[in-house]
């Protein structure tokens, strides 16, 4: 025993140095607040009030809940760094893991953290104060048992309550600087609202909502990344489950509607905090709380998939239990995850299918199937020829409009085929690619923006050819038109063909 003592030494960290270092973990104000709200949810709160108060360099933020509160010893544990062992078994509803969130999230934003908690009508209050610790470094890990001088009235909302907790941030030096204005403060609140609406949308939205989030007096409305129930949504997969040693992992894949199927307001609202391209990919939830919002988790064939315009309509919901944190490499900020090797092939297969479906919807500005028969592919004027050397775009001679010209061209057939070949060989692929990348939208096609009379004129010519040359009945010709690009997008117009013979005469 004596020999062991000689070969060891105690090396506790210096309090102020450790706390200042932990401030740099990379929280934003929004992610820090989400961490605090997690604690409220774990405390069985049904209402959380977040208040931003502008007062120049003395501005502050408070987070108050109606949860079960903490006793004095529980509060002391909550304020101690590393109070929880991340390997301990936790309640299924617990959103924490490291026992660090309250402190690291708060101190990333402020130099003074005060927490007052009430349980069974008995209140306890503790405070971390970095300036006080810096002034007296020899005192070590000192928690103060009261609010700072002049700050007690900021906690008045807890007077008379039977249970609940309030977290107060003061001296927010990482946010409020000399150049920070009230407009910047309001912009910050907007960012926070968007983030919280996304992270907690499954808890605050719908008929079974179990949490009310209130920011400066108004309720936060959840932002659903999957546009659940929207009538224009082209595809939602069944829920797929995968049993693991730590519980069930479930996944549901979604392809969102093309921009053409949305109003301007719907398009802007559903873009998400990062915009359409940034928000594509996996959305990982633990206990219905969003951890990761978008991205492809390092998956891909050969190289990791990037966020690309063509796949921006693909969003995948992935639910993991809170027992999966270690296997999924959940970090202390709950902002990154890495799927275990045993699940990668399963996730890849589902993601590949979703990406391809989303790419088709994006490329065709809507689903390339007939509205008359949802499983019948549309006759497209262009087709892709895949060669060993790459891809070529070819005009499909089977398209009714093209076939009609070829069959009637007679001696001009070689000239017509030559013309089609010239068109094929001069498709401005690079220009289209650049324009799509720069404008973040595919070029307008399918008569978009054209007057109805122009669409009717072209549709009527093809319709009459089907009736006169092909001998189809009016109903057969209409069905053919509904299977023909781009007329499948205009079912109400097609339904009138046969009654419009004299249009344009």
Return the HEC string of 405-449.
Answer: HHHHCHHHHHHHHHHHHHHHHCCCHHHHHHHHHHHCCCCCCCCCC
Q: Mean pLDDT throughout 4-9?
A: 74
- In sequence order, the 6+-apart residues with CB closer than 8 A to the CB of 35 are 27, 101, 102, 104, 105, 333, 334
The 3-state DSSP class for residue 215 equals strand
Say what the pLDDT of residue 486 is.
87
Across 55-59, 198-202, 389-393, least confident range:
389-393
pLDDT for residue 218: 96
pLDDT at 503: 43
Q: Mean of the per-residue pLDDT values for the chain?
A: 89
Number of Cβ within a 10 Å radius of residue 345? 10
- Tell me the pLDDT tens digit for each residue of 311-360: 999 999 999 998 998 899 887 767 778 999 999 999 999 999 999 999 98
pLDDT band, very low/low/confident/very high, at 92 (cuts 50, 70, 90): low
Domain boundaries along the sequence of the chain? 15-219, 235-363, 378-494
Q: What's the confidence (pLDDT) of residue 452?
A: 86
Helix (H/G/I), strand (E/B), else coil: 164: strand
Q: Which range, of 97-106, 207-216, 455-464, averages the lowest pLDDT?
A: 97-106
Mean pLDDT of 164-183: 95
Give the E-state strand segments of 234-358 in sequence order: 235-236, 240-244, 247-255, 281-286, 289-293, 314-320
Distance in angstroms (rounded) separating the CA atoms of residues 3 and 259: 74
Confidence bin at 504 (pLDDT 50/70/90):
very low
pTM, two decimal places: 0.77
- Which one is predicted more confidently, 220 or 435? 220
pLDDT surpassing 60 at residue 502: no
At the topology level of CATH, where does 15-219 sit?
Heat Shock Protein 90 (3.30.565)
Residue 137 has phi, psi (to 5 degrees) of -60, -25
């Amino acid at each position: 025993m004596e020999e062991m003592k000689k070969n060891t030494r105690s090396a506790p960290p210096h309090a102020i140095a450790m706390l200042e270092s932990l401030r740099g973990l990379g929280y934003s104000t929004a992610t820090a607040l989400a961490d605090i709200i997690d604690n409220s949810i774990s405390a069985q709160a049904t209402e959380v009030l977040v208040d931003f108060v502008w007062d120049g360099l003395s501005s502050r933020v408070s987070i108050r809940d109606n949860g079960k509160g903490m006793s004095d010893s529980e509060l002391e544990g909550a304020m101690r760094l590393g109070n929880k062992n991340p390997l301990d078994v936790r309640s299924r509803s617990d959103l924490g893991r490291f026992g660090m969130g309250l402190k690291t999230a708060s101190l990333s934003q402020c130099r003074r953290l005060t927490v007052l908690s009430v349980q069974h009508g008995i209140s306890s209050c503790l405070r971390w104060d970095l300036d006080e610790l810096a002034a007296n470094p020899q005192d070590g890990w000192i928690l103060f048992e009261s609010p700072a001088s002049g700050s007690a009235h900021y906690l008045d909302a807890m007077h008379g309550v039977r249970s609940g907790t309030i977290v107060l941030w003061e001296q927010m030096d990482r946010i409020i600087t000399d150049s920070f204005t009230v407009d910047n403060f309001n912009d910050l609140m907007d960012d926070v609202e968007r983030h919280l609406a996304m992270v907690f949308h499954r808890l605050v939205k719908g008929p079974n909502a179990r949490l009310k989030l209130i920011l400066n007096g108004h309720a936060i409305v959840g932002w659903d990344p999957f546009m659940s129930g929207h009538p224009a949504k082209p595809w939602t997969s069944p829920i797929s489950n995968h049993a693991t040693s730590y519980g069930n992992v479930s996944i549901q894949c979604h392809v969102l509607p093309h921009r053409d199927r949305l109003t301007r307001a719907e398009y802007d609202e559903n873009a998400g905090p990062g915009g359409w391209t940034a928000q594509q990919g996996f959305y990982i939830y633990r206990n219905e709380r969003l951890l990761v919002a978008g991205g492809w988790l390092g998956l891909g064939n050969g190289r990791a998939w990037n966020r690309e315009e063509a796949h921006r309509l693909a969003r995948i919901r992935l639910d993991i239990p809170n027992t999966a944190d270690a296997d999924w490499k959940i970090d202390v900020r709950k902002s990154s995850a890495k799927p275990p090797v045993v699940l990668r092939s399963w996730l890849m297969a589902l993601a590949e299918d979703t990406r391809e479906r989303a790419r088709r919807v994006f490329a065709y500005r809507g689903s390339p199937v007939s509205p008359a028969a949802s499983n019948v592919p549309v006759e497209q004027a262009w087709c892709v020829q895949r060669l060993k050397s790459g891809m070529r775009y070819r005009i499909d001679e089977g398209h009714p409009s093209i076939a009609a010209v070829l069959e009637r061209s007679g001696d001009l057939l070689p000239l017509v085929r030559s013309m089609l070949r010239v068109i094929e060989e001069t498709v401005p692929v690079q220009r289209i690619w650049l324009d799509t990348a720069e404008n973040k939208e595919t070029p307008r096609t399918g008569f978009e923006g054209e007057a109805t009379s122009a669409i009717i004129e072209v549709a009527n010519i093809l319709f009459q050819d089907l009736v006169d040359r092909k001998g189809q009945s009016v109903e057969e010709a209409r069905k053919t038109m509904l299977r023909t690009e781009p007329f499948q997008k205009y079912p109400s117009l097609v339904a009138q063909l046969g009654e419009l013979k004299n249009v344009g005469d």
